[in-house]
Structure 1
Amino acid sequence: MKNFDDYSMLSFERRGKVLTIKIDHAEGRNAVNDALHHELSRVFFDAQDDEESDVIVLTGVGKWFCAGGDMNWFQECIDSPAKWRRNVTIAKRITSSLLDVEKPVICRLNGAAAGLGASLALLCDITIAADTAVIGDPHVKMGLVAGDGGIISWPRLVGMARAKEMLLTGRMLSAAEAVALGLINHAVASHELDSKVDALADELASGATWAIRWTKTVMNLELKQSNVLTADAALGYETITNHMRHHQEAVCAFKEKRKPSFEPER
Protein backbone atom coordinates (compact mmCIF):
# COMPACT_ATOMS: atom_id res chain seq x y z
CA MET A 1 0.00 0.00 0.00
CA LYS A 2 1.32 3.45 -0.89
CA ASN A 3 2.01 5.63 2.15
CA PHE A 4 0.80 9.23 1.79
CA ASP A 5 1.99 10.44 5.20
CA ASP A 6 4.54 12.89 3.75
CA TYR A 7 1.85 15.27 2.43
CA SER A 8 0.85 18.38 4.36
CA MET A 9 -1.54 20.19 1.97
CA LEU A 10 -3.36 17.08 0.76
CA SER A 11 -5.15 14.49 2.87
CA PHE A 12 -6.27 11.01 1.92
CA GLU A 13 -9.09 8.59 2.62
CA ARG A 14 -9.61 4.98 1.57
CA ARG A 15 -12.89 3.18 1.01
CA GLY A 16 -12.29 -0.23 -0.48
CA LYS A 17 -10.59 0.25 -3.85
CA VAL A 18 -11.40 3.98 -3.92
CA LEU A 19 -8.69 6.47 -2.94
CA THR A 20 -9.93 10.00 -2.19
CA ILE A 21 -7.42 12.85 -2.47
CA LYS A 22 -8.52 16.00 -0.63
CA ILE A 23 -7.11 19.48 -1.20
CA ASP A 24 -6.76 20.30 2.46
CA HIS A 25 -5.97 23.99 2.91
CA ALA A 26 -9.44 25.08 3.96
CA GLU A 27 -8.34 28.10 5.99
CA GLY A 28 -6.89 29.49 2.75
CA ARG A 29 -9.86 28.58 0.49
CA ASN A 30 -7.77 25.63 -0.70
CA ALA A 31 -5.79 28.18 -2.72
CA VAL A 32 -2.52 27.12 -4.29
CA ASN A 33 0.74 28.09 -2.62
CA ASP A 34 4.25 26.71 -3.02
CA ALA A 35 3.61 23.68 -0.82
CA LEU A 36 0.34 22.69 -2.50
CA HIS A 37 1.77 23.29 -5.98
CA HIS A 38 4.66 20.93 -5.24
CA GLU A 39 2.40 18.27 -3.75
CA LEU A 40 0.01 18.38 -6.72
CA SER A 41 2.98 17.77 -9.02
CA ARG A 42 3.69 14.37 -7.45
CA VAL A 43 0.43 13.11 -5.97
CA PHE A 44 -0.91 11.66 -9.22
CA PHE A 45 2.30 9.68 -9.73
CA ASP A 46 1.88 8.30 -6.23
CA ALA A 47 -1.81 7.58 -6.80
CA GLN A 48 -0.97 5.68 -9.98
CA ASP A 49 1.57 3.58 -8.07
CA ASP A 50 -0.84 2.86 -5.21
CA GLU A 51 -1.58 -0.86 -5.54
CA GLU A 52 -4.57 -0.76 -3.17
CA SER A 53 -6.75 1.54 -5.31
CA ASP A 54 -8.43 1.29 -8.70
CA VAL A 55 -10.42 4.55 -8.64
CA ILE A 56 -9.37 8.04 -7.54
CA VAL A 57 -11.67 10.78 -6.27
CA LEU A 58 -10.31 14.34 -6.17
CA THR A 59 -12.10 16.86 -3.94
CA GLY A 60 -11.60 19.77 -1.55
CA VAL A 61 -12.03 20.17 2.19
CA GLY A 62 -14.58 22.69 3.43
CA LYS A 63 -16.54 25.08 1.23
CA TRP A 64 -14.02 25.37 -1.60
CA PHE A 65 -12.67 22.89 -4.12
CA CYS A 66 -9.67 25.07 -5.05
CA ALA A 67 -9.63 28.86 -5.36
CA GLY A 68 -6.67 28.98 -7.73
CA GLY A 69 -3.51 30.86 -6.84
CA ASP A 70 -3.01 32.32 -3.38
CA MET A 71 -2.45 36.10 -3.59
CA ASN A 72 0.62 36.08 -1.36
CA TRP A 73 2.08 33.33 -3.54
CA PHE A 74 1.32 35.39 -6.65
CA GLN A 75 3.23 38.29 -5.11
CA GLU A 76 6.16 36.06 -4.25
CA CYS A 77 6.30 34.90 -7.86
CA ILE A 78 6.25 38.50 -9.09
CA ASP A 79 9.07 39.43 -6.73
CA SER A 80 11.16 36.34 -7.47
CA PRO A 81 11.59 35.36 -11.14
CA ALA A 82 13.49 32.26 -9.99
CA LYS A 83 10.48 31.10 -7.97
CA TRP A 84 8.22 31.64 -10.98
CA ARG A 85 10.57 29.68 -13.26
CA ARG A 86 10.56 26.73 -10.86
CA ASN A 87 6.78 26.82 -10.73
CA VAL A 88 6.51 26.69 -14.52
CA THR A 89 8.27 23.32 -14.49
CA ILE A 90 6.06 22.13 -11.64
CA ALA A 91 2.91 23.29 -13.45
CA LYS A 92 3.78 21.08 -16.43
CA ARG A 93 4.17 18.08 -14.11
CA ILE A 94 0.73 18.65 -12.60
CA THR A 95 -1.17 18.55 -15.89
CA SER A 96 0.93 15.80 -17.48
CA SER A 97 0.76 13.53 -14.42
CA LEU A 98 -3.01 13.94 -14.11
CA LEU A 99 -3.44 13.04 -17.78
CA ASP A 100 -1.08 10.07 -17.39
CA VAL A 101 -2.97 8.38 -14.54
CA GLU A 102 -4.50 5.18 -15.92
CA LYS A 103 -7.03 4.84 -13.12
CA PRO A 104 -10.32 6.68 -13.61
CA VAL A 105 -10.35 9.99 -11.72
CA ILE A 106 -13.65 11.44 -10.50
CA CYS A 107 -13.80 15.08 -9.48
CA ARG A 108 -16.10 15.63 -6.50
CA LEU A 109 -16.64 19.35 -7.01
CA ASN A 110 -17.73 20.36 -3.52
CA GLY A 111 -17.36 24.11 -4.03
CA ALA A 112 -15.80 26.86 -6.11
CA ALA A 113 -13.07 25.92 -8.57
CA ALA A 114 -11.11 28.75 -10.14
CA GLY A 115 -7.95 28.96 -12.23
CA LEU A 116 -5.77 25.93 -11.56
CA GLY A 117 -8.65 24.57 -9.49
CA ALA A 118 -10.85 24.57 -12.58
CA SER A 119 -8.09 22.95 -14.63
CA LEU A 120 -7.74 20.17 -12.07
CA ALA A 121 -11.49 19.55 -12.10
CA LEU A 122 -11.79 19.54 -15.88
CA LEU A 123 -8.79 17.29 -16.48
CA CYS A 124 -10.42 14.61 -14.33
CA ASP A 125 -12.38 11.98 -16.25
CA ILE A 126 -15.83 12.64 -14.76
CA THR A 127 -16.87 15.73 -12.79
CA ILE A 128 -19.80 15.68 -10.37
CA ALA A 129 -20.61 18.98 -8.69
CA ALA A 130 -22.73 20.19 -5.84
CA ASP A 131 -25.38 22.50 -7.27
CA THR A 132 -23.93 25.31 -5.15
CA ALA A 133 -20.50 25.04 -6.79
CA VAL A 134 -19.14 27.47 -9.36
CA ILE A 135 -16.33 26.95 -11.85
CA GLY A 136 -14.31 29.18 -14.13
CA ASP A 137 -10.87 30.21 -15.25
CA PRO A 138 -10.31 33.88 -14.31
CA HIS A 139 -6.63 34.00 -15.28
CA VAL A 140 -7.24 37.04 -17.49
CA LYS A 141 -8.92 38.85 -14.60
CA MET A 142 -5.63 38.42 -12.77
CA GLY A 143 -3.69 39.76 -15.76
CA LEU A 144 -2.33 36.31 -16.63
CA VAL A 145 -2.49 33.98 -19.62
CA ALA A 146 -4.49 30.83 -18.87
CA GLY A 147 -1.40 28.66 -19.05
CA ASP A 148 -1.96 25.78 -16.62
CA GLY A 149 -4.33 23.46 -18.45
CA GLY A 150 -7.40 25.49 -19.35
CA ILE A 151 -6.18 25.94 -22.90
CA ILE A 152 -6.48 22.20 -23.59
CA SER A 153 -9.54 21.26 -21.52
CA TRP A 154 -12.10 23.97 -22.24
CA PRO A 155 -12.15 23.78 -26.08
CA ARG A 156 -12.54 20.01 -26.05
CA LEU A 157 -15.37 20.10 -23.56
CA VAL A 158 -17.48 23.01 -24.80
CA GLY A 159 -16.11 23.83 -28.26
CA MET A 160 -13.75 26.59 -29.34
CA ALA A 161 -16.30 29.42 -29.55
CA ARG A 162 -17.63 28.95 -26.01
CA ALA A 163 -14.15 28.22 -24.66
CA LYS A 164 -12.85 31.50 -26.04
CA GLU A 165 -15.74 33.38 -24.49
CA MET A 166 -15.13 31.81 -21.10
CA LEU A 167 -11.34 32.07 -21.08
CA LEU A 168 -11.19 35.60 -22.54
CA THR A 169 -13.71 36.94 -20.03
CA GLY A 170 -12.71 34.81 -17.04
CA ARG A 171 -16.39 34.38 -16.22
CA MET A 172 -17.46 31.98 -13.49
CA LEU A 173 -20.27 29.50 -14.21
CA SER A 174 -22.79 27.94 -11.89
CA ALA A 175 -22.84 24.15 -11.71
CA ALA A 176 -26.11 24.11 -13.65
CA GLU A 177 -24.63 26.31 -16.40
CA ALA A 178 -21.55 24.08 -16.55
CA VAL A 179 -23.71 20.98 -17.04
CA ALA A 180 -25.79 22.69 -19.72
CA LEU A 181 -22.63 23.57 -21.65
CA GLY A 182 -21.22 20.06 -21.32
CA LEU A 183 -18.33 21.30 -19.21
CA ILE A 184 -19.07 18.91 -16.33
CA ASN A 185 -21.15 15.74 -16.07
CA HIS A 186 -23.61 16.24 -13.23
CA ALA A 187 -24.82 18.81 -10.70
CA VAL A 188 -26.69 17.46 -7.68
CA ALA A 189 -27.99 18.83 -4.40
CA SER A 190 -25.17 19.19 -1.88
CA HIS A 191 -26.62 16.52 0.39
CA GLU A 192 -26.64 14.07 -2.54
CA LEU A 193 -23.07 14.70 -3.68
CA ASP A 194 -21.42 11.92 -1.67
CA SER A 195 -23.95 9.27 -2.66
CA LYS A 196 -23.68 10.21 -6.34
CA VAL A 197 -19.87 10.14 -6.29
CA ASP A 198 -19.72 6.93 -4.25
CA ALA A 199 -22.15 5.13 -6.56
CA LEU A 200 -20.09 5.98 -9.63
CA ALA A 201 -16.81 5.15 -7.90
CA ASP A 202 -18.17 1.77 -6.80
CA GLU A 203 -19.45 1.03 -10.31
CA LEU A 204 -16.00 1.71 -11.74
CA ALA A 205 -14.18 -0.14 -8.95
CA SER A 206 -16.27 -3.26 -9.55
CA GLY A 207 -15.80 -3.17 -13.31
CA ALA A 208 -13.18 -4.73 -15.60
CA THR A 209 -10.16 -2.88 -14.23
CA TRP A 210 -7.80 -2.99 -17.16
CA ALA A 211 -10.47 -2.49 -19.80
CA ILE A 212 -11.55 0.65 -17.96
CA ARG A 213 -8.00 1.93 -17.41
CA TRP A 214 -6.85 1.43 -20.96
CA THR A 215 -10.03 2.76 -22.53
CA LYS A 216 -9.33 5.95 -20.59
CA THR A 217 -5.66 5.84 -21.62
CA VAL A 218 -6.54 5.75 -25.31
CA MET A 219 -9.14 8.50 -24.94
CA ASN A 220 -6.56 10.72 -23.24
CA LEU A 221 -4.03 10.44 -26.06
CA GLU A 222 -5.36 13.49 -27.90
CA LEU A 223 -5.41 15.54 -24.70
CA LYS A 224 -1.85 14.50 -23.91
CA GLN A 225 -0.72 15.37 -27.42
CA SER A 226 -2.37 18.78 -27.13
CA ASN A 227 -0.76 19.33 -23.75
CA VAL A 228 2.68 18.59 -25.18
CA LEU A 229 2.08 20.93 -28.11
CA THR A 230 0.72 23.88 -26.11
CA ALA A 231 2.10 23.74 -22.56
CA ASP A 232 5.44 25.43 -23.22
CA ALA A 233 3.88 28.23 -25.28
CA ALA A 234 1.01 28.77 -22.84
CA LEU A 235 3.30 28.85 -19.81
CA GLY A 236 5.83 30.97 -21.72
CA TYR A 237 3.23 33.62 -22.44
CA GLU A 238 1.99 33.34 -18.86
CA THR A 239 5.56 34.00 -17.71
CA ILE A 240 5.60 37.26 -19.66
CA THR A 241 2.31 38.40 -18.15
CA ASN A 242 3.56 37.49 -14.67
CA HIS A 243 6.03 40.38 -14.98
CA MET A 244 3.61 42.93 -16.43
CA ARG A 245 1.84 45.77 -14.61
CA HIS A 246 -1.63 44.32 -15.13
CA HIS A 247 -0.88 41.26 -13.02
CA GLN A 248 0.60 43.34 -10.21
CA GLU A 249 -2.43 45.62 -10.31
CA ALA A 250 -4.80 42.64 -10.14
CA VAL A 251 -3.00 41.21 -7.10
CA CYS A 252 -3.02 44.58 -5.32
CA ALA A 253 -6.69 45.13 -6.17
CA PHE A 254 -7.67 41.71 -4.82
CA LYS A 255 -5.84 42.34 -1.54
CA GLU A 256 -7.37 45.82 -1.25
CA LYS A 257 -10.85 44.48 -2.12
CA ARG A 258 -11.36 46.81 -5.07
CA LYS A 259 -11.83 46.50 -8.81
CA PRO A 260 -8.52 46.48 -10.74
CA SER A 261 -7.75 49.37 -13.06
CA PHE A 262 -6.12 47.96 -16.18
CA GLU A 263 -4.56 51.00 -17.78
CA PRO A 264 -3.33 50.49 -21.36
CA GLU A 265 -0.04 48.57 -21.39
CA ARG A 266 1.91 48.54 -24.61
Structure 2
Amino acid sequence: MNLQDFKELTVTTKDRIATITLNRPDTLNAVNAGLHTELKHVFRLIADDKDSDIVILTGAGRAFCAGGDLAWLQGMIDVPARFNDIIEEAKAIVFSMLELPKPMICRMNGDAIGLGATLALGCDIIVATDTARFGDPHVRVGLVAGDGAAAILPYVVGFMRAKELLLTGDLLTADEAKQMGLINHVVPAAELDAKVDQIAGRLVRGATQAIRYTKIGINRGLRKFAQENMDALLAYESLSNQTEDHAEAIAALREKRKPIFTGR
Protein backbone atom coordinates (compact mmCIF):
# COMPACT_ATOMS: atom_id res chain seq x y z
CA MET A 1 0.00 0.00 0.00
CA ASN A 2 1.21 3.53 -0.77
CA LEU A 3 -0.14 7.01 -0.12
CA GLN A 4 -2.14 7.07 -3.36
CA ASP A 5 -3.96 3.77 -2.74
CA PHE A 6 -6.46 5.03 -0.17
CA LYS A 7 -10.18 5.22 -0.90
CA GLU A 8 -11.65 6.64 2.33
CA LEU A 9 -9.00 9.31 2.84
CA THR A 10 -6.77 11.39 0.59
CA VAL A 11 -3.16 12.50 0.93
CA THR A 12 -1.78 15.55 -0.88
CA THR A 13 1.62 17.18 -0.56
CA LYS A 14 2.71 20.73 -1.34
CA ASP A 15 5.82 22.60 -0.25
CA ARG A 16 6.85 19.71 2.04
CA ILE A 17 3.51 19.84 3.90
CA ALA A 18 1.37 16.70 3.62
CA THR A 19 -2.38 16.96 4.18
CA ILE A 20 -4.33 13.86 5.20
CA THR A 21 -8.07 14.33 4.69
CA LEU A 22 -10.73 11.99 6.04
CA ASN A 23 -12.93 11.81 2.97
CA ARG A 24 -16.41 10.58 3.90
CA PRO A 25 -18.17 13.97 4.03
CA ASP A 26 -21.66 12.54 3.51
CA THR A 27 -21.31 10.71 6.85
CA LEU A 28 -19.48 13.55 8.66
CA ASN A 29 -16.34 11.44 8.15
CA ALA A 30 -17.65 8.70 10.42
CA VAL A 31 -15.19 5.82 10.54
CA ASN A 32 -16.17 2.57 8.81
CA ALA A 33 -14.14 -0.61 8.38
CA GLY A 34 -12.33 0.70 5.32
CA LEU A 35 -11.33 4.02 6.87
CA HIS A 36 -10.26 2.30 10.09
CA THR A 37 -7.89 0.06 8.13
CA GLU A 38 -6.53 2.98 6.13
CA LEU A 39 -5.86 4.93 9.33
CA LYS A 40 -3.83 1.96 10.53
CA HIS A 41 -1.45 2.43 7.59
CA VAL A 42 -1.40 6.13 6.71
CA PHE A 43 0.72 7.47 9.59
CA ARG A 44 3.42 4.83 9.10
CA LEU A 45 3.53 5.64 5.39
CA ILE A 46 3.63 9.41 5.97
CA ALA A 47 6.47 8.91 8.44
CA ASP A 48 8.53 7.37 5.61
CA ASP A 49 7.45 9.90 2.99
CA LYS A 50 10.54 11.72 1.69
CA ASP A 51 8.53 14.63 0.27
CA SER A 52 7.06 15.99 3.52
CA ASP A 53 8.24 17.34 6.87
CA ILE A 54 4.94 18.59 8.32
CA VAL A 55 1.53 16.88 8.39
CA ILE A 56 -1.98 18.37 8.56
CA LEU A 57 -4.88 16.09 9.50
CA THR A 58 -8.39 17.27 8.65
CA GLY A 59 -11.82 16.19 7.46
CA ALA A 60 -13.72 16.85 4.26
CA GLY A 61 -16.94 18.85 4.47
CA ARG A 62 -18.38 20.28 7.67
CA ALA A 63 -17.00 17.85 10.28
CA PHE A 64 -13.60 16.61 11.34
CA CYS A 65 -14.82 13.15 12.37
CA ALA A 66 -18.16 12.14 13.91
CA GLY A 67 -16.88 8.87 15.40
CA GLY A 68 -17.92 5.37 14.39
CA ASP A 69 -20.23 4.71 11.45
CA LEU A 70 -23.55 3.28 12.73
CA ALA A 71 -23.70 0.48 10.16
CA TRP A 72 -20.16 -0.55 11.07
CA LEU A 73 -21.00 -0.54 14.78
CA GLN A 74 -24.15 -2.57 14.13
CA GLY A 75 -22.13 -5.11 12.19
CA MET A 76 -19.89 -5.67 15.21
CA ILE A 77 -22.95 -6.13 17.43
CA ASP A 78 -24.33 -8.71 15.02
CA VAL A 79 -20.98 -10.53 14.75
CA PRO A 80 -18.91 -9.77 17.89
CA ALA A 81 -15.83 -11.44 16.43
CA ARG A 82 -15.59 -8.50 14.02
CA PHE A 83 -14.77 -6.25 16.97
CA ASN A 84 -11.91 -8.49 18.03
CA ASP A 85 -10.56 -8.21 14.50
CA ILE A 86 -10.08 -4.44 14.83
CA ILE A 87 -8.32 -4.40 18.21
CA GLU A 88 -4.84 -4.52 16.71
CA GLU A 89 -5.88 -1.90 14.15
CA ALA A 90 -7.04 0.43 16.92
CA LYS A 91 -3.72 0.07 18.73
CA ALA A 92 -1.79 0.64 15.51
CA ILE A 93 -3.68 3.87 14.79
CA VAL A 94 -2.88 5.38 18.19
CA PHE A 95 0.70 4.15 18.40
CA SER A 96 1.56 5.21 14.83
CA MET A 97 0.25 8.71 15.52
CA LEU A 98 2.21 9.06 18.74
CA GLU A 99 5.34 7.64 17.11
CA LEU A 100 5.13 9.84 13.99
CA PRO A 101 8.31 11.95 14.11
CA LYS A 102 6.88 14.72 11.94
CA PRO A 103 4.85 17.46 13.65
CA MET A 104 1.13 16.99 12.94
CA ILE A 105 -1.44 19.77 13.06
CA CYS A 106 -5.12 18.94 13.48
CA ARG A 107 -7.20 21.22 11.27
CA MET A 108 -10.39 20.62 13.25
CA ASN A 109 -12.88 21.97 10.76
CA GLY A 110 -15.86 20.69 12.77
CA ASP A 111 -16.88 18.21 15.43
CA ALA A 112 -14.30 15.71 16.71
CA ILE A 113 -16.37 13.01 18.40
CA GLY A 114 -15.42 9.56 19.69
CA LEU A 115 -12.66 8.20 17.50
CA GLY A 116 -12.53 11.68 16.01
CA ALA A 117 -11.47 13.02 19.41
CA THR A 118 -8.77 10.34 19.56
CA LEU A 119 -7.46 11.37 16.14
CA ALA A 120 -7.34 15.01 17.23
CA LEU A 121 -5.54 14.11 20.47
CA GLY A 122 -2.95 12.17 18.49
CA CYS A 123 -1.87 15.41 16.82
CA ASP A 124 0.63 17.90 18.25
CA ILE A 125 -1.26 21.15 17.69
CA ILE A 126 -5.04 21.51 17.32
CA VAL A 127 -6.65 24.45 15.53
CA ALA A 128 -10.45 24.35 15.70
CA THR A 129 -13.34 26.35 14.34
CA ASP A 130 -15.33 28.18 16.99
CA THR A 131 -18.45 26.11 16.28
CA ALA A 132 -16.74 22.72 16.65
CA ARG A 133 -17.39 20.32 19.52
CA PHE A 134 -14.97 17.89 21.12
CA GLY A 135 -15.64 14.78 23.19
CA ASP A 136 -15.74 11.03 23.55
CA PRO A 137 -19.31 9.85 24.19
CA HIS A 138 -18.52 6.11 24.09
CA VAL A 139 -20.41 5.50 27.33
CA ARG A 140 -23.51 7.15 25.88
CA VAL A 141 -23.66 4.33 23.33
CA GLY A 142 -22.90 1.65 25.91
CA LEU A 143 -19.23 1.24 25.04
CA VAL A 144 -16.03 1.51 27.05
CA ALA A 145 -13.89 4.40 25.78
CA GLY A 146 -11.16 2.01 24.75
CA ASP A 147 -9.93 3.03 21.31
CA GLY A 148 -7.63 5.84 22.33
CA ALA A 149 -9.08 8.85 24.13
CA ALA A 150 -8.95 7.17 27.54
CA ALA A 151 -5.31 6.30 26.86
CA ILE A 152 -4.39 9.91 26.05
CA LEU A 153 -6.86 12.26 27.76
CA PRO A 154 -5.79 11.66 31.41
CA TYR A 155 -2.18 12.41 30.45
CA VAL A 156 -3.23 15.69 28.81
CA VAL A 157 -5.82 17.16 31.22
CA GLY A 158 -5.35 15.13 34.42
CA PHE A 159 -7.26 12.18 35.77
CA MET A 160 -10.13 14.03 37.43
CA ARG A 161 -11.11 16.04 34.38
CA ALA A 162 -10.59 13.05 32.10
CA LYS A 163 -12.77 10.80 34.24
CA GLU A 164 -15.62 13.29 34.29
CA LEU A 165 -15.50 13.71 30.52
CA LEU A 166 -15.24 9.99 29.80
CA LEU A 167 -17.74 8.79 32.42
CA THR A 168 -20.41 11.29 31.33
CA GLY A 169 -19.60 11.35 27.62
CA ASP A 170 -20.20 15.10 27.64
CA LEU A 171 -19.18 17.17 24.64
CA LEU A 172 -17.18 20.37 25.01
CA THR A 173 -17.40 23.48 22.90
CA ALA A 174 -14.14 24.42 21.20
CA ASP A 175 -13.69 27.27 23.70
CA GLU A 176 -14.26 24.94 26.67
CA ALA A 177 -11.77 22.47 25.25
CA LYS A 178 -9.25 25.27 24.78
CA GLN A 179 -9.67 26.34 28.41
CA MET A 180 -8.85 22.76 29.47
CA GLY A 181 -5.72 22.74 27.35
CA LEU A 182 -7.12 20.30 24.77
CA ILE A 183 -7.15 22.73 21.86
CA ASN A 184 -4.44 25.27 21.05
CA HIS A 185 -6.32 27.77 18.90
CA VAL A 186 -10.01 28.51 18.25
CA VAL A 187 -10.85 30.67 15.24
CA PRO A 188 -13.85 31.50 13.04
CA ALA A 189 -14.24 29.10 10.13
CA ALA A 190 -13.18 31.79 7.66
CA GLU A 191 -9.83 32.10 9.45
CA LEU A 192 -9.10 28.37 9.91
CA ASP A 193 -6.94 27.86 6.84
CA ALA A 194 -4.91 30.99 7.44
CA LYS A 195 -4.13 29.97 11.02
CA VAL A 196 -3.22 26.40 10.08
CA ASP A 197 -1.06 27.62 7.19
CA GLN A 198 0.69 30.09 9.47
CA ILE A 199 1.65 27.38 11.96
CA ALA A 200 2.57 24.84 9.29
CA GLY A 201 4.67 27.43 7.45
CA ARG A 202 6.56 28.35 10.59
CA LEU A 203 7.29 24.69 11.35
CA VAL A 204 8.33 23.82 7.80
CA ARG A 205 10.81 26.72 7.82
CA GLY A 206 12.24 25.60 11.16
CA ALA A 207 15.12 23.28 12.02
CA THR A 208 13.59 19.98 10.92
CA GLN A 209 15.69 17.59 12.97
CA ALA A 210 15.52 19.70 16.15
CA ILE A 211 11.74 19.91 15.86
CA ARG A 212 11.38 16.17 15.23
CA TYR A 213 13.61 15.13 18.09
CA THR A 214 11.84 17.54 20.44
CA LYS A 215 8.49 15.98 19.54
CA ILE A 216 9.85 12.46 19.95
CA GLY A 217 11.27 13.32 23.37
CA ILE A 218 8.09 14.97 24.61
CA ASN A 219 5.93 12.09 23.37
CA ARG A 220 7.92 9.40 25.17
CA GLY A 221 5.83 9.66 28.33
CA LEU A 222 2.56 9.83 26.41
CA ARG A 223 3.51 6.81 24.29
CA LYS A 224 4.37 4.83 27.42
CA PHE A 225 1.07 5.78 29.07
CA ALA A 226 -0.94 4.76 26.01
CA GLN A 227 0.93 1.49 25.56
CA GLU A 228 0.42 0.54 29.20
CA ASN A 229 -3.34 1.07 29.04
CA MET A 230 -4.71 0.29 25.58
CA ASP A 231 -4.71 -3.50 25.86
CA ALA A 232 -6.94 -3.43 28.92
CA LEU A 233 -9.15 -0.63 27.59
CA LEU A 234 -9.75 -2.40 24.29
CA ALA A 235 -10.43 -5.70 26.05
CA TYR A 236 -13.10 -3.99 28.15
CA GLU A 237 -14.50 -2.24 25.08
CA SER A 238 -14.76 -5.63 23.37
CA LEU A 239 -16.79 -6.92 26.32
CA SER A 240 -19.06 -3.86 26.28
CA ASN A 241 -19.65 -4.40 22.54
CA GLN A 242 -21.58 -7.53 23.51
CA THR A 243 -23.89 -5.88 26.07
CA GLU A 244 -27.60 -5.28 25.66
CA ASP A 245 -27.11 -1.62 26.54
CA HIS A 246 -24.80 -1.09 23.56
CA ALA A 247 -27.23 -2.79 21.19
CA GLU A 248 -30.04 -0.64 22.60
CA ALA A 249 -28.01 2.56 22.18
CA ILE A 250 -27.22 1.87 18.52
CA ALA A 251 -30.85 0.92 17.85
CA ALA A 252 -31.96 4.17 19.48
CA LEU A 253 -29.59 6.21 17.32
CA ARG A 254 -30.86 4.54 14.18
CA GLU A 255 -34.49 5.09 15.28
CA LYS A 256 -33.77 8.66 16.45
CA ARG A 257 -34.98 8.16 20.02
CA LYS A 258 -33.49 8.11 23.51
CA PRO A 259 -32.01 4.77 24.63
CA ILE A 260 -33.44 2.90 27.60
CA PHE A 261 -30.53 1.35 29.49
CA THR A 262 -31.02 -1.65 31.78
CA GLY A 263 -27.45 -2.22 32.96
CA ARG A 264 -27.13 -5.44 30.99
| TM-score interval for Structure 1 and Structure 2 normalised by the shorter chain | over 0.9
SS of 2:94's equivalent in the other structure is helix
Contact 2:70 2:250 in 1 (8 A): yes
Question: Alpha-carbon deviations, 1:81-108, whole Å to 9, x = none?
Answer: 2211111111011001111100000000
Structure 1 position 12 matched with structure 2 position 45: no
Q: Which runs of 4+ in 1 moved over 3 A?
A: none
Gapped regions of structure 2 (runs ≥ 5): none
The equivalent residue for 1:113 is 112
Counterpart of 1:101? 100
Match of 1:245 in 2: 244
1:130 corresponding residue in structure 2: 129
Matches within 5 A, 1:183-262: 183-262=182-261
CA contact (8 A) 2:136 2:165 kept: yes
For residues 201 and 148 of structure 1, what CA distance do their matches in structure 2 show? 28
Secondary structure of 1:5 counterpart: coil
* Alignment-mate amino acid for residue 55 of structure 1: I
Q: Matches of 1:152 and 1:184 in 2, distance apart?
A: 17
2:255 maps to amino acid? E
- SS of 2:21 mapped into structure 1: strand
Post-superposition CA distance 1:180-219 (Å, at most 9, x none): 1111111001100000000100100010001100100011
Which residue of structure 1 lines up, in the alignment, with residue 141 of structure 2?
142
Please name the residue that 1:48 is paired with: 47
Separation (CA, whole Å) in 1 of partners of 2:83 and 2:7: 22
Of all paired residues, the percent bearing the same amino acid is 49
For residue 14 of structure 1, report the CA deviation from its aligned partner. Answer: 1.9
1:111 match: secondary structure: coil
AA of the residue aligned to 2:242: H
TM score, norm. by length of structure 2: 0.98
Farther off after superposition, 151-160 or 86-95: 151-160
User: Residues 155 and 225 of structure 2 are in contact (CA less than 8 Å); yes or no, is this contact kept in structure 1?
Assistant: no
Alignment check: 8 A CA contact 2:18 2:54 kept:
yes
Select between 26-35 and 156-165 the one with higher mean Cα deviation: 156-165
Counterpart for residue 157 of structure 2: 158
* Number of equivalent positions: 264
1:3 is displaced (CA, Å) by 5.0
Query: 1:11 is paired with a residue of what secondary structure?
Result: strand
Q: Which residue of 1 aligns with 2:67?
A: 68
Task: Work out the CA distance in 2 between the residues paired with 1:88 and 1:251.
Answer: 20
Moved more, 152-161 or 167-176: 152-161
Give the TM-score normalised by the residue count of structure 1: 0.97
Q: Which runs of 5+ in 1 are unaligned?
A: none
Q: d(CA) in 1 for partners of 2:9 and 2:134? A: 21
Deviations 1:235-265 (A, max 9, x none): 0000000000010000000000001111132
1:13 CA drift (Å): 2.2
CA distance in structure 2 between the aligned counterparts of 1:21 and 1:146, rounded to whole angstroms: 25
Task: Find the residue that maps to 1:32 and give its secondary structure.
Answer: coil
